Amino acid sequence: MSIKKKLNRLKSHLSHEVSTKSVLTTCQSIESEIPFIEVWENEGVTPYFFDGSYCLIRERRFPIDQQHGIYTFSQFSIAVNAWNESGMKHPLSAAGIKPESFVFFDTETTGLGGGVGNSIFILGHARLSGDEIHLKQHILPSPGAEVPLYQSFLESADYTTMATYNGKSFDWPQVKTQHTLIREHVPKLPSFGHFDLYHASRRMWKHKLERMKLSIVEKEVLGIERKDDLPGFLAPMIYFDFVERKDPQGMLGILKHNEIDILSLISLYTHLSFQILGLDQKQTAKEMYEIGRWFSHVGEAEGAKESFSRLANTTNSETAAAKHALAFEYKKEKKWMDALHIWEDVVDQGNEDVIRLEACIEIAKIYEHREKNLQKAIHFTRNAEAISQKLQSVNNRKLTISHQEIMKRLERLNKRLYRSF
Amino acid sequence: MKVRKDLNEIMNHLKVAESFKENIVHWQTIEEKEASTDELPLDIHPALKEALQKRGITRLYTHQKSAYEEAIQGKSIVAVTPTASGKTLCYNLPVLQTIINDANSRALYMFPTKALAQDQKSEINEIIEEAGLPINSYTYDGDTPSNIRQKVRKAGHVVITNPDMLHSAILPHHTKWVSLFENLKYVVIDELHIYRGVFGSHVANVIRRLQRICRFYGSNPTFICTSATIANPLELAESLTEKRISLIDNNGAPSGRKHFVFYNPPIVNHPLNIRRSATLEVRKLASELLKNKVQTIVFARSRVRVEILVTYLQELIKHKLGPKAIRGYRGGYLPTERREIEKGLRSGEIFGVVSTNALELGVDIGQLQVCIMTGYPGTIASAWQQAGRAGRRHSESLVIMVASSSPLDQFIIQNPDYFFKRSPETARINPDNLIILIDHMKCAAYELPFKAGEQFGSFETEEVLEYLAEERVLYQNGDKYYWMNDSFPAHNISLRSASQENVVIIDQTDVANVKVIGEMDRFSAMTLLHEEAVYLHQGRQFQVELLDWEEKKAFVREVDVDYFTDANLAVQLKVLEQDKQQFISSGEIGYGDISITAMATIFKKIKFETHENIGSGPISLPEEELHTSAAWISLHKDIGQFNQERLEQGLIGTSHALKSIAPLFVMCDPQDIHVVPQVKAAHNEKPTIFFYDRYPGGVGLSEKIFDGFQLVLKEASDLVKKCQCAHGCPSCIGIDSSSQTAKADVLKVFETFMNGEIHVN
């Protein structure tokens, strides 16, 4: 029996999804004309020939005073210049980098997750060039044209400074994977600095956004509205359809989607920079607090103190937390009295018991180890114990400091006090 | 108070005690064997030599030496290594020496299970440490923390993994493993004999994919395989790897004295020739041993038997040893539970373990003194593997095989020569089974595009590639076929089971703490996890309250009842296409493709101890359909003056005898081949007996039956003739026959089938 007959019989045991659409011839060679070339040309798409094959490149330019959400592209230059002036150390700092060096980068792939068979079919990037934003999208017309795709991509920009959305763990590893397959035919991949705006966004807005997809951040934070946008999950289907039928219609939608993604990265970087540098007038207390924590996390004490002090000096939702964090900054600098005063203030005026509890313990530590005032240390530890009991009776919330720890501290302090007499 | 008896005293007791001695039909003592050794190879590095000497190794066993000499020259080998013969040096030595010679060299070790991989990692690392060599060996499996995965990929000289991981995690991400694949010198395949049947056919395709990736990166690794004793290690190694392989079978390892006892339970019903249940006899033997704290492993054929025995034994000795001293071990337990049991056995905290063949593999459980098999394990190779569990480290040991009433068991136990003198089974694989092949060609296309005209191992791909392009799974561009789908094909393909979706077992006894306690393949679930079934897990009984077939979830609750359940499967069969045909004077034999539909119909509740039927109920599950290959024999002549009923009974009895003998001849697990009689087969309206492969598309078993039909018929007929019963019994023609003529009728059917020359069409 022929294998094909057998295959048809065994079809029910074969697990792949069988499409009902008619089968089309799938042969395609370089000599034949590029299908739908007029449609492509109307969209500013041109072919790129290399090594006996071709890919497509779509180019677009946007004036820098064009608005994209709450920012114009020209504000991106302002952000970069602000970094260069501020001298603040920060992972997103553009100090020493020209606005023109930034490459904003995003891909479209045939599947989710990493794996060799998940291929990239659009490599898109944009950068500032004169008074325009120059967007370039490299399109894989069909599998097998990877060499011209990566060749054109690698020669079309300097990728030393790249900004992406989750590119560190998705897009770029995927580029590496695909590049490995054709590494003998194209230039090496560059090494580069990477601003991953996904992680930055998570840090800033995790508290208010349930999901951190770019389209959500865009809408909720940057005020960007997409019209007739394709949902991203449809992209692989549309691409497979395009590969078979060659009609660019569906692809144009994906290209538009990819374009907005990339442009949004520009506004997102601008917004994040303004937030960090304190240039955004509409910054919320929570955002400012997160900026402070971020500075603190990366060891930029001045930046942290500045954010926290600004919050501590006004009345807002984060006042107590900011004071608490500010006190920790002083503690790090061994400015015990500055820290002590803030913490005493937190205990007296704060209304968040969890913070007050921690503050009491910190005060007790300073009195015990720095001021050698055991009585005061005991007083604040007792205070902590009372708060702890109150908290436990209200709810079962897990505390950073357990009741047991407090009791131990109290016991030790009492012993020391006893011995000192 | 009685003093505890040691193993020798117990053996003497078995020989003299009334309750045991008359059931012992054969006592074979296998004498100890001296070691045969050779000098350490001259070219091994001094540090390595020193490390070996520190471990007390100053000479190599002959097979280790031969393995080294071949492998170091880059010749692929298969070494036949019985349990405890020092097989690990067969590969560790050439691999380590090669890495010492060239630090860029890489090796990939493949073990059938994670537990074995863990064992081997400690073993190789001990040598590396003692030799003070800068060599990294890591396991890479589902338990490897993500923070060290990168290190394993880049810097692991020896990567120890399993075929499932290779299939779903390494090959589909081969670009992350460039340094491994560019420098891969050795691929080690341990426990080669495990890779047979469906699983072996899958693994052969994974190896095809592996070699394809190696070619892409410019490497051509040498294969080092080790295998338990089977009839055709060389053939199996060559068909798995599609390489030229040298056979190393000069085993030089010593072995301890072993007593192999064939134990046949007493006949309790003479007219029907029914014997006492093997399970009950095993309970008696095992409790005698366990009472005396002799560490014992009991093998049982099915998961249900394991659980029943655990329940029995725990009950019997719970006051003496405590409930945790006896444990069950089988597939479906979670890994942590298994690790805990293995550790308990090594440390001696656990005295007894009741296991399915899951513990046949080389998982290190230390030295057990006694092995008891509840029934013949189905293959000679498997029986020796299980027997090897007792006294692996050269001490005196006892193996007791307790026969069940099944014809196969009775055949074996009454023909000890057959067992001790016959060569063990042949392991067969069929890498070109289309279902399996296509799954792996999809994975392969995901990993690298196929070129038109490219072979997949020895398989010509043209037609399959065209088919996959038509199905729009692949896309053809020029002379290449590209993966054209948004899925990750390896995730949907399991190497271990025919049905790809398992049923998860959820314990809802404690409403506040609902938890998953195990899983089961779909086909087994039809008869073991239907609603109202009693599912046994670690000796605890659970009743299935709800089986959600759509979602593949079984919700169970713990119960305490005195019965277990047993379900029936109704089967329908159609011939789709006949590929081969031979005429005999009494009829014809054929081979081709068939379709089978199976449906679970009813279940019975069977009381513990007495094993009487105390109730039944319907099962309402959808039909499952299977397309596979089959061999059949049809009668064109009438048999004597049989009426319809006698004909039917005759065919059923004949099938029963054939089913017991067939696995012996095609050398497979009894579950892998099924026998179905039909009084009037749908395709030719003749009385017909079908043999079919259990796996979709077939793995070549029924084809073997077709080739050796006459022999199978003769042996099965001899089995019935030689049986001591008068009118047929469970040990020859099955339990359903109550008529006085049943046995004679079956013999008549055999005679008619066999009486006739073959005419090749």
Structure tokens at B322: 């405590």
- For residue A260, pLDDT over 80 is answered with yes
Best mutation site among A110, A116, A188 for testing chain B: the one with the most B CBs within 10 Å? A116
- For residue A28, pLDDT over 50 is answered with no
The kind and range of the H/E element at B319 are helix B303-321
Mean pLDDT, residues A270-277 taken together? 94
* Torsion B680-B684-B687-B688 (CA) sign: negative
Beta bridge partners of B108: B159, B187
Whole-number Å distance between alpha carbons of B491 and B501: 11
Q: What is the pLDDT of residue B365?
A: 72
Whole-number Å distance between alpha carbons of A320 and A333: 20
Of B398, B333, B324, the closest CA to residue B359 belongs to: B333
Instruction: Give the single-character DSSP code of B208.
Output: H
Judge: A3–B471 Cβ closer than 8 Å, yes or no: no
Residues of B within 8 A of A19 (CB-CB) are 471-472
Q: Is A143 on the interface with B (CB under 8 A)?
A: yes
Q: What is the pLDDT of residue A126?
A: 97
Mean pLDDT, residues A74-96 taken together? 92
Residue of chain A minimizing CA distance to B176: A177
Decide: B248 and B63 in contact? Cβ < 8 Å. Answer: yes
Structure tokens at B152: 């394993």
Mean pLDDT, residues A38-53 taken together? 90
Of B185, B252, B181, B187, the closest CA to residue B225 belongs to: B187
- For residue B148, pLDDT over 50 is answered with yes
CB A352: neighbour CB atoms within 10 A? 14
- The full DSSP string for A167-217 is IIIIIHHHHHHHHHHTTTTSPPPPP-EEEEHHHHHHHHHTTT-S---HHHH
Q: What is the pLDDT of residue B2?
A: 57
- For residue A18, pLDDT over 50 is answered with no
Q: What is the pLDDT of residue B122?
A: 81
- For residue B163, pLDDT over 80 is answered with yes
- For residue B455, pLDDT over 90 is answered with yes
Least confident range from A26-40, B116-130, B524-538, B604-618: namely A26-40
Distance from CA of A146 to the nearest CA of B (A): 12
Q: Which of A111, A116, A144 sits opposite B447 (nearest CB)?
A: A116
Mean pLDDT, residues B722-751 taken together? 77
Decide: B111 and B80 in contact? Cβ < 8 Å. Answer: no
Judge: A180–B625 Cβ closer than 8 Å, yes or no: no
Q: What is the pLDDT of residue B267?
A: 84
The 10s digit of each residue's pLDDT in B605-631 is 888 766 678 889 999 888 887 788 899
- The full DSSP string for B642-671 is --HHHHHHHHHHHHHHHHHHHHHHHT--GG
Q: What is the pLDDT of residue B399?
A: 94
Give domain limits for chain A: 33-276, 284-340, 352-421
Instruction: Give the single-character DSSP code of B193.
Output: G
Instruction: Give the single-character DSSP code of B3.
Output: P
Decide: B363 and B117 in contact? Cβ < 8 Å. Answer: no
Residues in chain A: 421
Judge: B485–A240 Cβ closer than 8 Å, yes or no: yes
Distance from CA of B616 to the nearest CA of A (A): 33
Mean pLDDT, residues B68-84 taken together? 91
Residue of chain B minimizing CA distance to A114: B173
Residues of A within 8 A of B696 (CB-CB) are 10, 13
- For residue B521, pLDDT over 80 is answered with no
Whole-number Å distance between alpha carbons of B477 and A421: 91
Q: Which CATH class is domain B37-248?
A: alpha beta
Whole-number Å distance between alpha carbons of A363 and A378: 10
Q: What is the pLDDT of residue A21?
A: 37
The 10s digit of each residue's pLDDT in B550-561 is 888 899 999 988
Strand, helix or coil at B678?
Answer: strand
Mean pLDDT, residues A257-283 taken together? 94
Which residue has tokens 């500013």? A44
Judge: A112–B486 Cβ closer than 8 Å, yes or no: yes
Residue of chain B minimizing CA distance to A3: B463
Whole-number Å distance between alpha carbons of B570 and B623: 9
Topology of domain A284-340, CATH: 1.25.40
Whole-number Å distance between alpha carbons of A305 and A325: 9
Q: Which of A7, A145, A177 sits opposite B434 (nearest CB)?
A: A7
Least confident range from A204-218, A247-261, A350-364: namely A350-364
- Model confidence at B366, pLDDT cuts 50, 70, 90, reads low
- Model confidence at A330, pLDDT cuts 50, 70, 90, reads very high
**CA A231, A233, A235, A238: dihedral to nearest 10 degrees?**
-90
Whole-number Å distance between alpha carbons of B626 and B629: 10
More confident residue, B611 or B22: B22
Q: Which residues contact A257 (CB under 8 A, 6 or more apart)?
A: A108, A229, A230, A232, A235
Judge: B464–A181 Cβ closer than 8 Å, yes or no: no
Share of chain A above pLDDT 70, in %: 94
Helices (H), A313-352: 319-332, 336-349
Judge: A18–B469 Cβ closer than 8 Å, yes or no: no
Q: Which residues contact B440 (CB under 8 A, 6 or more apart)?
A: B202, B205, B206, B208, B209, B456, B493
Decide: B689 and B677 in contact? Cβ < 8 Å. Answer: yes
Enumerate residues 23 to 82 of chain B having a beta carbon within 8 A of any beta carbon in chain A. Answer: none
- Model confidence at B75, pLDDT cuts 50, 70, 90, reads very high
Instruction: Give the single-character DSSP code of B449.
Output: P
Q: What is the pLDDT of residue B332?
A: 67
Whole-number Å distance between alpha carbons of B584 and B8: 57
Strand, helix or coil at B31?
Answer: coil
Q: Is A14 on the interface with B (CB under 8 A)?
A: yes
Q: Is A24 on the interface with B (CB under 8 A)?
A: no
The 10s digit of each residue's pLDDT in B236-250 is 999 999 999 999 999
Which residue has tokens 């990692």? B121
Pairing mode of beta strands B688-693, B624-635 = antiparallel
Distance from CA of A65 to the nearest CA of B (A): 39
Mean pLDDT of chain B: 86
Enumerate residues 470 to 529 of chain B having a beta carbon within 8 A of any beta carbon in chain A. Answer: 470-473, 475-478, 480, 482-489, 492-493, 500
Least confident range from B130-144, B207-221, B310-324: namely B310-324
Judge: A181–B482 Cβ closer than 8 Å, yes or no: no
- Model confidence at A16, pLDDT cuts 50, 70, 90, reads low
The 10s digit of each residue's pLDDT in B621-664 is 888 877 888 999 998 877 667 788 888 888 988 998 898 888 87
Whole-number Å distance between alpha carbons of B105 and B186: 9
Distances (CA, A) of B398 to B256, B259, B303, B372: 11, 5, 24, 8
- For residue B182, pLDDT over 90 is answered with yes
Residue of chain B minimizing CA distance to A144: B477
- Print burial letters for B306-319: b (CB count within 10 Å at least 16), e (below 16): bbbbbbbbbebbee
Beta bridge partners of A63: A132
Judge: B478–A28 Cβ closer than 8 Å, yes or no: yes
Residue of chain B minimizing CA distance to A177: B175
Mean pLDDT, residues B57-82 taken together? 94
Q: Which of B446, B473, B476 sits opposite A27 (nearest CB)?
A: B476
Mean pLDDT of chain A: 88
- Model confidence at A296, pLDDT cuts 50, 70, 90, reads very high
**ipTM of predicted complex:** 0.81
Q: What is the pLDDT of residue B649?
A: 85
Distances (CA, A) of A303 to A276, A287, A317, B4, B727: 9, 14, 20, 78, 97
More confident residue, A317 or A93: A93
Beta bridge partners of B477: B480
Q: Is B178 on the interface with A (CB under 8 A)?
A: yes
Q: Which of B466, B579, B627 sits opposite A1 (nearest CB)?
A: B579
- Model confidence at B89, pLDDT cuts 50, 70, 90, reads very high
Q: Helix crossing, B434-447 with B462-470: angle to 10°?
A: 80
CATH classification for the domain delimited by B7-30+256-421, as one of 3.30.1330.40, 3.40.50.300, 3.30.1490.100, 3.30.1360.120: 3.40.50.300
CATH architecture under which domain A33-276 falls? 2-Layer Sandwich (3.30)
Q: Which residues contact A31 (CB under 8 A, 6 or more apart)?
A: none
Give the phi and the psi of residue B9 in degrees, each rounded to 5.
-65, -40
Mean pLDDT, residues B581-605 taken together? 88
